[in-house]
Amino acid sequence: MSSPHLAALHRLTALESPTGDARSLAALAEALEADAVRAGFTTARETRPTGDHLLWNLPARDVAGEPILLLSHYDTVWPAGTLAAMPWSVEGDVVRGPGVYDTKAGLVALLAAADRIRDRPHPEVRVIVVADEEIGSPSAVDLVRAEAGRARAVLGLEPPHPGGDLKTGRRGSTRVRIEVTGVEAHAALDPDAGASAIDELVDQLVAFRAVAARRPVLLNTGTIAGGGRTNVVAGHAHADLGLRFTDPADEEALLGELRSLRPVRARAAVTARLLSHRPTWRPDDAGAALLDRIREIAAGIGQRLDGRPADGAADTNTTGAMGRPTVDGLAPRGGGAHARTEWVSAAGIAERADLLAALLGPSGLAG
């Protein structure tokens, strides 16, 4: 299968863009901005240490009122070089490659939709393409809040539920680092003079997991690092934890536990540091009304859609928790987010481009 949508996605996928890789992100940012200008957007950037956030604006044409805000990102979880083992491929409707589903296909669909409506009546369309979404958007929260505060509706371009249904709420998500300082010593000649940071970290993780298990919270130990040599008692270690929750009270209780960590070993020191935080986005009347309107517009172009809450977190956590009318999952259907089985539907890209054009067009969300 060959199409302009696939050609665009292939080009973006070839520009690998792992979070925090400044050179790779800059190369993709240049390509995306050029595409955005061709689609009718004006472009700007907010520079941050983790990468530039891209700000696009499609000025209103014969439609007054507040803008529609779309949220996306251009970083991926895949390190540079992943394409060698996980290459671009198209087999029938299945398109594979790092980042195709999460969420470069969503950007392709948005750009195609904008190009289609640019000369037709439409409201102001504002887009934030975040550079560090995959680590919780720690440098983009204020930007997202400011833009959402003046938007009539917020549409998230994250992947949808399996099959294509939209997302109407999300678990809260917090990332925390447990850091341990021990005492180095020769592991054979004088082991008792040391205090292993790694052993201390393991004990802390086991104890905290038991505490977390008493609440309806998802806990994932995402990374562990520390030590240096097998003949040296480890002096430093840390672990990054991901917490997912539906009730802010559960989050606060577990953060309280982390703040009160005490070392098991007399000469070890333990601290916990917040890396990022996304509040719980609970379904509300504003989001339900927006979903109803999206379903109505979708039905008008022959598409059937529904929506329900999701477990994963995104920048829409922030806007939904603010009470702004928010729906997410408007990227094309597919599967395997953050897995080597990642894929996106080629037909789904065209479907979402059609839907986004209808939502942003003269009879869409501003109509």
- Give the pLDDT mean for 155-178: 97
In CATH terms, the fold of domain 4-170+280-360 is Aminopeptidase (3.40.630)
pLDDT for the residue numbered 160? 98
Which band of pLDDT confidence, cut at 50, 70 and 90, is reported for residue 222? very high
Cβ atoms of 58 and 29 closer than 8 Å: no
Q: Kindly give the residue spans of alpha helices, DSSP state H, lying in the chain.
A: 4-14, 22-38, 82-85, 105-117, 141-148, 197-212, 248-259, 285-300, 316-321, 346-360
Q: pLDDT band for position 134 (50/70/90)?
A: very high
Q: In 10 A of CB 207, how many CB atoms?
A: 13
Does 50 have pLDDT greater than 90? no
Query: Which DSSP helix (H) or strand (E) runs through 327?
Result: strand 326-327
| The pLDDT of residue 254 | 96
DSSP 347: H
- The mean pLDDT of 283-296, rounded to a whole number, is 98
| CATH code, 172-278 | 3.30.70.360
Cα–Cα distances (Å) from 320 to 81, 87, 288, 339, in that order, read 35, 36, 11, 27
How much of the chain, in percent, has pLDDT values that exceed 70? Answer: 99
> What's phi and psi for 328, nearest 5 deg?
-120, 180
Q: What's residue 1's pLDDT? A: 46
Reduced to 3 states, what is the DSSP secondary structure of residue 86?
coil
How would you class 251 by CB atoms within 10 Å of its CB: exposed for 0-12, middle for 13-18, buried for 19 or more?
buried
Percent of the chain with pLDDT over 90: 98
Helices H, strands E: what count in the chain?
A: 10, 16
For residues 39 and 193, give the distance between their C-alpha atoms in angstroms, rounded to a whole number: 65
Domain range summary for the chain, segments of one domain joined by +:
4-170+280-360, 172-278
The span from the CA of 361 to the CA of 367, in Å, is 8
Q: Where are the alpha helices (DSSP H) in 247-367?
A: 248-259, 285-300, 316-321, 346-360
pTM: 0.93
Average model confidence (pLDDT) for the chain? 97
- Distance in angstroms (rounded) separating the CA atoms of residues 139 and 257: 26
* Mean of pLDDT values over 74-94: 97
Q: Rounded to whole angstroms, how far apart are CA atoms 328 and 312?
A: 11
Which of 358, 317, 353 lies closest to 332, judged by CA?
353
Which residue's entry shows tokens 């917020």?
Answer: 154
Angle ∠(277,294,1) on CA atoms, nearest 5 = 90
Task: List phi, psi (to 5°) of 126.
Answer: -120, 140
**How far is C-alpha 275 from the chain's CA centre?**
15
Closest-CA residue to 107 (of 360, 364, 352):
352
Query: E strand or H helix at 192, and its extent?
Result: none
> So what's the pLDDT on residue 2?
60
Cα separation, 291 vs 285, whole angstroms:
10
Three-state DSSP class for 180? strand
Distances (CA, A) of 49 to 103, 240, 275, 312: 22, 20, 14, 25
